[in-house]
Structure 1
């Protein structure tokens, strides 16, 4: 049971079976308290035996417990709960506004929507990694949290319709209880919420792009979003009717979105670089001759020039898989180009671009040989520490942990010794940044700092 008593100050709104209040705890800290309070429509459905109140409570408890499991800055934190009280409630951090309110004031978010979009993707990725699908992702359920230092972040909330892959697939069909929002819902949810997948949330995100780059214009629910320009292509792929044709993961969506937002006229030295970009952006697999064209352009590109960065960014997970299956030597060559590019940019990459880079490094780790895996781990360490990017630092700790193959760990030790990488400086930063211990790294890596006595 909670140790705090909360005083409700203001009714912030309600949904099908929950109401949220602005409250204060005994220390005077403002929080948001969500209580179990079914709406009149749902109460009527309970009275008519269309749904049991116990089932609604079960879902309320599940929302509180699953949301509390997610510790991520872009998911609204659960601070406290008392699910045995009457009515039961749980406590969340207080928000300043919702994304819906911010979009109503200025749908372009000051001409810089990147912050909100990448925050939502980061939170969504954290949710999906736990095997949870939100199923009601919309701007009203994304909240802006203001920090004491003046910073702000957007965080996903309202998990009342979430689905957990652990077996919680109950569909609420009573009047007003099923929830969901037609404007943002994927077509597979139209008849059965049990069909939700991660790609259902990706569909909803595609409609976010419509809201920002087209405006609050009516559209036929459950249909593909279509508007002109590079971002329009991303939104269209998010909202394909067939889930298999959408982005397969948040990581792939993030990379495509970053590229579309960053597009600007390229100062190409020749048309061949533009031709290569066009090849990489086509949907068709590349032929041997076309791959030769791509890699000749990489070989000729200025290592510090924008054309090289644009070409490297255009490589997708699909391209890397094709190279692994058809031309492993070219995959190794791409890995070399990409790792050199990442390592040269110590401390100079855009904050959100670090996540895009980390995703691609993760793909290379999964597909690469021993030497590539070792270099990827070191690149993640340097990238995360030099940019103070928590996602990247967590990825480093995961890949370099106890499950790392011993030959790869041994190769990392060799790379550190030969190259003189300041491993201890970077790992000390990571330990302080995300509150982890180097002791959790693979045992062979301990040789780097546990020097034998002379």
Structure 2
């Protein structure tokens, strides 16, 4: 025996075989509760679901009676504040609870310590509902016989209001209340009054409140409805957190504060995926940011610059903003390598031509002057081909700015 855990009317012995396999043996310690213990085993025999504890063996005729189940790695209650895959755990609980309810059964004691966590082959954890000592089927004949009138049941803090003084009337809706209390514990983690309605700020507030209404009729109708609402709330919460991280990063960039550089680098990937973020990002990213980024992480600099060039080549930008972008490009050009300069120059040419901004076109003409090296001119030609920018537009830029073609590097005149 490795360890022993004591409950209300039984103890759980953790045993390990010589081959390393661990099992949990639950042994009745209060003979007067033998009928309840037998009922627990009877219900466990009815379930075959990955999120409900498995019955491996049982002997109800032994003295004392016992049954065996797999030994968990943890209980949910033991790792509430450190677990990473909490959403997977929560949805696993809902899957198990839906199976329990489909049999017409109420668990009546749903709480973190009655959720066992087992390890998948990849190291992730999955949840299993255990401890069916208080389970009840409202249509079964022994319900009132095992639960006296006026009884208080469940676990304070997780038990629904109807469980106080009227435990025999607990229903599947009471399990929904208990799940809502667990959500509150996971995401809010503040002290709360037992049997009370709970809520919090943000998208999860609605779900928690709907689970924990004192009036059972106002709670979610079933697990299907609850699952859909929880999924939607978590998606909205992720989106809100994501937007907050973007705004935080933008504020840091605007203030030239790179003390939390990792968070800035993390959001840079969104330049590729989020068009709205590009507008905000390129509006606030000054030369200090570009210079720091180039020194700290060249791969991130390359990625950001690639997006900046594509952003300039796109159409539909405000005319006055084009001039601002042209100035930014000029500054970045001054600190960049020739490979990067070539791309910037092509982006500036497209920006000026596509938006008919003479000022921006003039910036390009300076970048492509006859004084640049043959190497840079060659790279500009290659970049133009890469981004499908027509170098014939150089002639248009020269005409618009009354600049002779002879002032442009010969390799770029087509």
Aligned partners of 1:116 and 1:154 also within 8 Å: yes
Query: Is 1:218 equivalent to 2:210 in the alignment?
Result: no
**Corresponding residue SS for 2:116:** strand
Work out whether 1:166 is the aligned partner of 2:143.
no
Q: What is the aligned counterpart of 1:82 among 42, 59, 62?
A: 59
Q: Does 1:244 align with 2:217?
A: yes
Q: Secondary structure at the residue paired with 1:114?
A: helix
Residues paired across the two proteins, number: 238
Q: How does 1:333-352 map to 2 (within 5 A)?
A: none
The residue number in structure 1 matching 2:338 is none
Once residues 85 and 72 of structure 1 are traced to their aligned partners in structure 2, the CA distance between those partners, rounded to angstroms, is: 27
> Partner residue of 1:135?
108
- Residue 436 of structure 1 corresponds to none
Which moved further from structure 2: 59-68 or 253-262? 59-68
Indicate the residue corresponding to 1:418 in structure 2: none
Q: Distance in 2 between matches of 1:29 and 1:99?
A: 21
Aligned-partner Cα distance in 1 for 2:90–2:21: 29
* Structure 1 contact 16–179 (Cα < 8 Å) conserved: no
Deviation at 1:202, TM superposition (A): 0.1
Q: How does 1:84-163 map to 2 (within 5 A)?
A: 84-103=61-80, 105-106=81-82, 109-110=83-84, 112-148=85-121, 150-163=123-136
Kindly state the Cα deviation for residue 172 of structure 1 after the two structures are TM-superposed. Answer: 4.3
Gapped regions of structure 2 (runs ≥ 5): 241-414
CA distance in 2, matches of 1:101, 1:242: 31
**Which one of the candidate residues 17, 21, 24 is aligned to 2:9?**
17
Gapped regions of structure 1 (runs ≥ 5) = 1-7, 39-52, 266-454
Contact 2:147 2:168 in 1 (8 A): no
- The DSSP-based 3-state class of the residue aligned with 1:204 is helix
Q: Within 2, Cα distance between the matches of 1:156 and 1:35? A: 18
Q: Secondary structure at the match of 2:113?
A: helix
Superimposed CA distance per residue, residues 117-174 of structure 1 (whole angstroms, 9 cap, x where no aligned partner): 1011001001111111000100000010124553431100001111113323135469
Q: Alpha-carbon deviation of 1:86?
A: 0.6
User: 1:360-415: CA deviations, max 9, x gaps?
Assistant: xxxxxxxxxxxxxxxxxxxxxxxxxxxxxxxxxxxxxxxxxxxxxxxxxxxxxxxx
C-alpha distance in 2 between matches for 1:261 and 1:98 = 23
Q: 2:163 aligns with which of 169, 184, 189?
A: 189
Matched with 1:208 is: 182
Alignment of 1:3-402 (within 5 A): 8-11=1-4, 13-24=5-16, 29-38=21-30, 53-54=31-32, 56-103=33-80, 105-106=81-82, 109-110=83-84, 112-148=85-121, 150-167=123-140, 168-170=142-144, 171-172=146-147, 179-215=153-189, 217-263=190-236, 264=239
Q: Deviations over 1:311-356 (max 9, x none)?
A: xxxxxxxxxxxxxxxxxxxxxxxxxxxxxxxxxxxxxxxxxxxxxx
Considering only aligned residues, what root-mean-square deviation do their CA atoms show, in Å?
A: 2.4
Q: Is the 8 A contact 2:148 2:168 kept in 1?
A: no
Aligned partners of 2:156 and 2:194 also within 8 Å: yes
Does the 8 Å contact 1:31/1:92 carry over to 2? yes
Whether the 8 Å contact between 1:143 and 1:156 is mirrored in structure 2 is yes
Shift of 1:194: 1.4
> 3-state DSSP class of the match of 2:123?
coil
Cα contact 2:76–2:117 (8 A) shared by 1: yes
Summarize deviations over 1:62-121 as a string: whole Å, max 9, x none.
Answer: 101202211111111111111111110000011000000011x42xx33x4211110110
**In 1: Cα distance, 2:113 partner to 2:178 partner:** 12
Counterpart of 1:430?
none
Report the equivalent of 1:298: none
Q: CA contact under 8 A between 1:172 and 1:178: conserved in structure 2?
A: no
Q: Distance in 1 between matches of 2:196 and 2:95?
A: 25
Q: Distance in 1 between matches of 2:158 and 2:26?
A: 23
- Paired residues of 1:34 and 1:91 also in contact (CA < 8 A): yes
Larger radius of gyration: 2
3-state SS of the aligned residue for 1:19?
A: strand
Report the TM-score when normalising by structure 1: 0.50
Distance 2:158 2:91 in 1: 18
Give the CA deviation at 1:9.
Answer: 3.1
Deviation for aligned residue 1:28: 5.4
Rounded Cα–Cα distance in structure 1 between residues aligned with 2:179 and 2:20: 36
Corresponding position of 1:362: none
8 Å Cα contact 1:237-1:247 kept in structure 2: yes
Instruction: Decide whether the 8 Å contact of 1:20 with 1:32 is kept in 2.
Output: yes
